[in-house]
Homo-oligomer: A and B are copies of this chain.
Amino acid sequence: MFSKACQYAIRAITLLAMEGRKGRRMALVEIAERTGTPRAFTAKVLQQLVRAGLLDSVKGPGGGFDLPPQKARQVTLSMVVKAIDNDDVYRGCGMGLPQCNARKPCPLHEQFQHVRENLRIMLESTNLHDLSMDLERGVTFLK
């Protein structure tokens, strides 16, 4: 469904949303440790999120990555997924036809749209603040 890069991104940014609420900034090493993701690769992923404007970063001692609470409320899962996986999840034919639309649909076109619409709504209506709250309460886990 999502690429590994995208999965790592969601885990990392959820953690950052939680710590961000306490005004904390996190270094890459700590993020990778607490999410159980490979350091170097996670760095690349976080850089993409920064470039996409979903995350802040600060260099030097005491630096790291940072997601202010205000931003955590605005950023949705959908934005994170799009930043990493493009909008492959939304667009594109389930059966891989180069052209597939309502006028010339693949055999699964109809059924697929429903499933994907479901996914779209889920991703767009979930923000990082909500996800991080469950995490802080100890209801959910990152590794």
- Residues of chain A having any CB pair with chain B under 8 Å: 1-2, 4, 7-8, 10-11, 14, 36, 77, 89, 94-98, 104-109, 111-112, 114-115, 118-119, 122, 126, 131-132, 134-135, 139-143
Partner of A106, one of B115, B126, B142: B142
B105 near A7: Cβ-Cβ < 8 Å? no
Report the separation of the CA atoms of residues A96 and B131 in the bound assembly, to the nearest whole angstrom: 16
| A119 to B113 Cα, complex, angstroms | 11
**Beta-carbon contact of A4 and B119 below 8 Å:** no
Also in contact, A107 and B95, with CB within 8 A (given A1-B1, A114-B118, A118-B118)? no
Taken together, the copies of this chain in the complex come to: 2
CB neighbours of A143 from chain B (8 A): 97-98
Further 12 A-B residue pairs, CB within 8 A, beyond A2-B94, A98-B143: A1-B1, A4-B96, A36-B98, A77-B108, A97-B142, A106-B140, A107-B134, A107-B141, A108-B131, A112-B122, A114-B118, A114-B122
> Shortest distance in angstroms between A115's beta carbon and chain B's nearest beta carbon?
5
Q: Which of A11, A115, A122, A131 has the most CB of B within 10 A?
A: A115
